[in-house]
Amino acid sequence: MNHQKERFRMRKSYSVFIAMAIMSFMAFGIASARQDSQNQTRDQRKSQMQERSNKSGGAADAKAFFREHLIALDRMTNQEININDENEMEVVDFLVDPMTGKIEYMILSSEGWLGMGEERHVLPYSSLKVEPQQRMLRVSDAGITISDNTKYSPKRSGGWSMEEVAEYSEKTRQRNTIKESRTQETDRRNRAMDRQKESTAQSDKRDYTDKDGQQALVEANRLYNRDVYGTDGNEIGEMDAILVDVETGKIKMVVLEQNALFGLMGEKYLIPWQSVHFDNQTQQINLRVSEDNLDAYSKATEIEDWDGSYLPRNTAVEMYRQYNYEYESR
């Protein structure tokens, strides 16, 4: 009887061992596939940056290209970045102020083995330098370092509150300009409303200077595929792409996709960021028109200079002028 129990225990232990071995093998395979996918994406992005550089005809022309074009923000993720010739990391996301459209920070990842042991850090976007000729991003500032003070822990909220931004700024001795930027954005948008004569009543104007306790920054990846609502409160589409001015770190245009079926066959519109409002209370993205008036904006298929990733700045400036908006170049 005891002999049978012993054999049963051995069989059970052997089964558990086999099951654990299979699970470990599967986990290894998934981690390897994930690493391969990340490497492939990074290589594709580097290749695209090099292609743009080659077409422009040299280092000076390459830099001019990135100065003169808006770039889809997702083109800058999964890119390697060199930190003061000491650390090689990867840009995985950005922290954006959805009220002003300003990229405040970039989220960087140190490569762990097969995605394990990864550390994430946050550095000011203003320290970023684009070097297309070398196919890389760089931080060249002795005052910017990777340390325990710059570590980033993703949260369910997908961003930082005002208090967390203030804490980071204090620990890293970086200037916190969010409230100042929001005050300027409030003035800018209200001037646009006056010019458009939509409303001159102060009660109808937006106030982007939010109080402490509210979310200040949101991870850029959280903005993609988000529902966008019109002035009538109805959903009119999804956020498909975000176009930024690399030098100023500001969102200038967004691509709204309407009536898409599994990401296919939808109509896409290029819309100035000034027409977008992020409600910090509800975390809802609103557009200043209803679905019936969406054709007031330019369809992506009608803009010859738009290739899905890059848009000439001059084209964006002209679109801003068309809607009586100010295009801030700094």
Q: Would you give the DSSP letter of residue 152? A: -
- CA torsion angle 53 56 58 63 (round to 10): -70
Summarised one tens digit per residue, pLDDT across range 229-267 is: 999 889 999 999 999 999 889 999 999 998 756 556 678
Average pLDDT over all residues of the chain: 78
pTM recorded for the entire structure: 0.75
Give the start-end residues of each E strand in the chain.
Answer: 69-72, 79-83, 87-97, 102-110, 119-124, 128-131, 136-139, 159-161, 215-219, 227-229, 235-245, 250-258, 267-272, 276-279, 284-287, 298-299, 310-312
Q: pLDDT (tens digit, 9 = 90+) per residue, 166-205?
A: 999 999 988 888 888 888 887 877 777 777 655 433 334 4
> Rounded to 5 degrees, what are φ and ψ at 68?
-100, 5
Structure tokens belonging to residue 227: 């529902």
pLDDT for 210: 47
> Which domains can be identified in the chain, with CATH numbers?
64-182 (2.30.30.240), 221-323 (2.30.30.240)
* pLDDT tens profile 256-306: 998 756 556 678 999 999 899 888 778 889 998 888 888 889 898 889 889
